[in-house]
Amino acid sequence: MIKQLAKSVREYKSASLVTPFFVALEVVMECAIPFMIANLVNSIKAGCDINLLLRDGLLLVLMAVLSLVFGTIAGFTSSKASCGFAKNLRKDMFYAIQKYSFENIDHFLTSSLVTRMTTDVTNVQNAYMMLIRIAIRAPLMLIFAFTMAFIMGGKMAWIFLFVIPVLGIGLGLVIYNAMPLFRKVFKKYDKLNASIQENIKGMRVVKSFVREDYEQTKFDAAAQDVCADFTRAERILAFNNPLMQFCIYTVMSFVLSFGSYLVITTNGLALDVGQMSSLITYSMMMLMSLMMLSMVFVIMVMAVESGKRIVEILTEESTLHNPENPIHEVPNGSITFENVNFRYSENAELMALSNINLEIKSGETIGIIGGTGSSKSSLIQLISRLYDVTEGSVKVGGIDVRQYDVESLRNQVAVVLQKNVLFSGTIKENLRWGNKEATDQEMIDACKMACADEFISLFPEKYDTYIEQGGSNVSGGQKQRLCIARALLKKPKILILDDSTSAVDTKTDAKIRKALQSYIPETTKIIIAQRTSSVQDADKIIVMEGGTINAVGTHEELLKTNEIYREIYTSQNKAGDNDEN
């Protein structure tokens, strides 16, 4: 995991390496200061001349200033390194996701992708900063202070050999007991928040079923549960402070009593008053650094989970690969399915598609009809290689889709997805997804074909109208027509509309189909629809049922021969008096 994450440090390597160096310098200075102070104290005591005093004093100030400079540099480089690392991590994750296939995307929930790229990255960023600053500072400080204490205090320093293990073991115990609790409770906490989110989204349902009290009871229990676990964990953690105080107090008492004894009995030879005061300072330093170490450890352990979740994104292998020598030209819009079987994942028991054989000529209009879950969408997603077949092969222009360069293939096979999305930005910006270089005229033409121009021109800002996120400020039918126009701008050889006119009225629907027929006759058009009226003038209609092709034929043929088709048709035309279309 560490190796994978470390790859994202890149240009911030120097900042990351420089930081510990300056931190070390700062620590050296900080540890030398009490040493100097002991000298100063003794000079004062000895009542020596003012020049010596001034020299020592100024040296001390100089050291403090140096320490300040080093510390500031380290603070600067460490923020650069950690923020840069976080930036690169987000970037790498985003890029990795851009390479995902549909199958990979299905793998992760959207909300979890967002959390991984925000909260988890922040956790790792904090841990990284800790690592290059505190994790260097604390042990160094511990060692230096310890050494200095021995140099100055001699025998007195043995007290640290007692106190440090006590604190170390104490802190270790606290962490050992609190960490598993924290890990457990954070998972519960996530769940609690997920349930709040659900509640907010479903407020209309909650209110219309009068379930406010039920929701409240459910929430109270969950909140109580989270609180109990958190309290338990935090109460263990709350031993840290008193433990630390205990150690400091022990050292102080010892130094003051035994130290006094030593000073007096040796006439200040083994220890003098100045050293006594420095010893106390060193003991503070040591214990603080141990405390810091324990904190670093906690943050690290928490970041490990986040790190794992990030690495999952980075190492997820795209299930689609470009072939070695990809073909960039799609010769024509013909499509062939040969003995195709398909399932969404290796673990899926049922095939989403089984035994599909199909021949579609370039320029034909094909209608696909069938019930919910009959795998209509699965069928067409194989054509632009959004998924790979499990067995058999799909050919476009006579060539297996797996031999094409994916981008070239998708540029020639435009799919208007059933669950379609517009992005925040102007209409023009959205349309340019289809073709970056599209001129205004091209956009208007495409919108006219998709019957979108008529409502766009009614907007006060026309093609510069701003679309809100998810297209929430246009109606369902308008959204669908914009999506069709966007796909048309690609000028594809194959155009697939996956239930893309369901919110458009029948007349406009017919108008769009007629426009497609007359303006892009050479393009193969595949139309998935719920309404028979949307497919009835297609060259061929495919009736799907339970992942297989139930029948293929024209409207008239199917009406005569196919039970399902007839049923669908009559369910939509019960009164039998609306055959105007």
Q: Interaction with other proteins in 361-390: which residues (CB under 8 A)?
A: 370-373, 384, 386
Burial 55-67 (b: 16+ CB within 10 A, else e): ebeeebeebeebb
Segment 209 to 268, residues that bind other proteins, using CB under 8 A: 209-216, 219-220, 223-224, 226-227, 230-231, 234-235, 237-239, 241-242, 245-246, 249, 252-253, 256-257, 260-261, 263-268
424 forms part of the interface with other proteins (CB under 8 A): yes
Nearest to 478 by CA among 493, 456, 446: 456
578 forms part of the interface with other proteins (CB under 8 A): yes
Q: Nearest 5 degrees, angle CA 222-CA 228-CA 229?
A: 95
Query: Mask 37-56, x = binds other proteins (CB under 8 A)?
Result: x--xx-xxx-x--x--xx--
Contact present, 281 and 40 (Cβ < 8 Å):
no
Nearest to 564 by CA among 352, 369, 365, 355: 369
* DSSP structure class, residue 551: E
Q: Which is nearer to other proteins, 52 or 359 (CB)?
A: 52
Q: Which of 20, 153, 367, 477 binds other proteins (CB under 8 A)?
A: 477
Q: Which of 7, 91, 155, 308 binds other proteins (CB under 8 A)?
A: 91
Q: Which of 65, 151, 161, 169 binds other proteins (CB under 8 A)?
A: 65
Q: Which is nearer to other proteins, 546 or 553 (CB)?
A: 546
423 forms part of the interface with other proteins (CB under 8 A): yes
Roughly how many angstroms between the first and final C-alpha of the chain, as a whole number?
62
Phi, psi for residue 258 in degrees, rounded to 5: -65, -35
Q: Which is nearer to other proteins, 118 or 357 (CB)?
A: 118
Sequence-ordered list of residues with C-beta below 8 angstroms from that of 355, at least 6 positions apart, any chain: 339, 340, 341, 548
Segment 109 to 128, residues that bind other proteins, using CB under 8 A: 109-111, 113-114, 117-118
Sequence-ordered list of residues with C-beta below 8 angstroms from that of 263, at least 6 positions apart, any chain: 270, 271, 272, 273, 276
97 forms part of the interface with other proteins (CB under 8 A): yes
Nearest to 160 by CA among 296, 251, 258: 251
Question: Chain centroid to CA 525: how far?
Answer: 37
The CB-of-386 to other proteins minimum distance in angstroms stands at 7
472 forms part of the interface with other proteins (CB under 8 A): no
Place of tokens 């909300």: 111
Q: Which is nearer to other proteins, 111 or 357 (CB)?
A: 111
Please name the residue ranges forming H helices in 369-491.
376-381, 406-412, 427-431, 440-449, 453-456, 476-488
Q: What CA–CA distance (Å, rounded) separates 380 from 161?
A: 73
Contact present, 95 and 57 (Cβ < 8 Å):
no
Among the listed ranges 140-148, 273-281, 327-335, 352-360, the one in contact with other proteins (CB under 8 A) is 273-281
Q: Which is nearer to other proteins, 250 or 361 (CB)?
A: 250
The CB-of-339 to other proteins minimum distance in angstroms stands at 25
Q: Which of 289, 336, 390, 478 binds other proteins (CB under 8 A)?
A: 478
Strands annotated E in 276-362: 335-342, 353-360
Burial of 180 (0-12, 13-18, 19+ CB in 10 A): exposed
Segment 449 to 468, residues that bind other proteins, using CB under 8 A: none
Segment 487 to 546, residues that bind other proteins, using CB under 8 A: 490, 502-508, 510, 530-531
The CB-of-435 to other proteins minimum distance in angstroms stands at 9
Around Cβ 130, how many Cβ atoms within 10 Å? 23
The CB-of-67 to other proteins minimum distance in angstroms stands at 5
Q: Which is nearer to other proteins, 332 or 530 (CB)?
A: 530
The CB-of-151 to other proteins minimum distance in angstroms stands at 19
79 forms part of the interface with other proteins (CB under 8 A): yes
The CB-of-113 to other proteins minimum distance in angstroms stands at 5
Q: Which is nearer to other proteins, 93 or 538 (CB)?
A: 93
475 forms part of the interface with other proteins (CB under 8 A): yes
Segment 3 to 22, residues that bind other proteins, using CB under 8 A: none
26 forms part of the interface with other proteins (CB under 8 A): yes
Nearest to 4 by CA among 105, 85, 100: 85
Q: Which is nearer to other proteins, 1 or 114 (CB)?
A: 114
The CB-of-136 to other proteins minimum distance in angstroms stands at 14
3-state SS track over 240-299: HHHHHHHHHHHHHHHHHHHHHHHHHHCCCCCCCHHHHHHHHHHHHHHHHHHHHHHHHHHH
76 forms part of the interface with other proteins (CB under 8 A): yes
Burial of 176 (0-12, 13-18, 19+ CB in 10 A): exposed
* DSSP structure class, residue 574: T
Segment 156 to 215, residues that bind other proteins, using CB under 8 A: 193-215
Nearest to 471 by CA among 461, 484, 463, 483: 483
Q: Which is nearer to other proteins, 113 or 399 (CB)?
A: 113
User: Contacts with other proteins: how many residues (CB under 8 A)?
Assistant: 168
Among the listed ranges 142-150, 326-334, 393-401, 561-569, the one in contact with other proteins (CB under 8 A) is 561-569
70 forms part of the interface with other proteins (CB under 8 A): yes
Segment 274 to 333, residues that bind other proteins, using CB under 8 A: 274, 276-277, 280-281, 284
